């Protein structure tokens, strides 16, 4: 099976998200100018930091500073490859692990979950099957797993019956499939792929398409009813 190779482009930083609505300052102090007011869960390009403030890359290339306590850093690089529209300030970049590939093997599912980040911003379309033009939650998971040769059923409820059952949150691994309960329909009605560090990627109506969310948010944790590997 051919591998899906990530482009080896310049690494701009790590992928991060603001945990709450918070200002981004021009210097590492709250007494400085506010460059931007980040929304909750807004995507950011993060540079390494060990202090109270963490530098982030702004649209104009300048560095801004966000309180480290207001930031979650995901284990993925942001590179200068292709344009990936997002809700944050990372337009013009792509998310990847430079130099790696997606192929069959024990780590394939973790890599395909990461690969799914490249479709951040693809619009949500009910019944959609296009990773580029429009897709729903189960179509997103089905299409990604198809890239590593795994055929999954089309709906979330059907997919939740396939694979090794994961019964404890602490046992989740990157690439595991998550399934959420739909109260209105009285059945499993949503799915996504676990990324690690509490985050998952999915196509959702609320996000208007492919995006990441935090599984530690009570909204998602209380809806989670199944996980499969």
| Residue from 137, 188, 226, 227 carrying the catalytic annotation | 137
For 29, the enclosing helix (H) or strand (E) is none
Confirm whether 124 is a catalytic residue: no
Instruction: Tell me the β-bridge partners of 188.
Output: 181
Neighbouring residues of 211: CB distance < 8 A, sequence distance ≥ 6:
86, 87, 120, 121, 201, 202, 203, 204
Does residue 33 contact residue 66 with C-beta atoms inside 8 Å?
A: no
Catalytic-residue membership of 208: no
* 36 in catalytic set: no
The one catalytic residue among 202, 210, 212, 227: 202
Max Cα-Cα span within the chain: 55
Residue 24 main-chain phi, psi, to 5 deg: -110, 120
Q: Say which of 36, 97, 177, 190 is annotated catalytic.
A: 190
List residues with catalytic annotation.
137, 190, 202
């Amino acid at each position: 099976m051919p591998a899906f190779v990530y482009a080896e482009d310049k690494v701009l930083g790590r992928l991060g998200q603001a945990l709450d609505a918070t200002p981004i300052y021009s210097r590492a102090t709250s007494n400085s100018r506010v460059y931007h007011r980040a929304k909750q869960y807004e995507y950011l390009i993060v540079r390494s930091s060990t202090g109270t403030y963490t530098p982030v890359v702004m649209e104009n290339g300048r560095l801004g500073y966000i309180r480290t306590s207001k930031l979650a850093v995901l284990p993925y690089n942001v590179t200068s490859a292709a344009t990936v529209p997002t809700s944050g300030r990372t337009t013009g970049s792509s998310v990847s692990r430079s130099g790696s590939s997606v192929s069959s093997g024990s780590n394939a599912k973790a890599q395909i979950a990461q690969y799914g980040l490249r479709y951040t911003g693809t619009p949500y379309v009910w019944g959609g099957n296009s990773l580029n033009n429009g897709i729903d939650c189960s179509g997103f998971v089905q299409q990604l797993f198809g890239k590593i040769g795994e055929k999954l059923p089309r709906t979330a409820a059907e997919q939740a019956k396939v694979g090794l059952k994961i019964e404890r949150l602490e046992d989740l691994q990157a690439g595991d499939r998550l399934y959420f309960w739909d109260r209105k329909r009285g059945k499993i009605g949503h799915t996504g792929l676990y990324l690690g560090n509490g985050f998952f990627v999915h196509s959702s109506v609320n996000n208007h398409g492919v995006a990441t969310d935090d599984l530690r948010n009570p909204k998602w944790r209380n809806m989670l009813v199944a996980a499969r590997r």
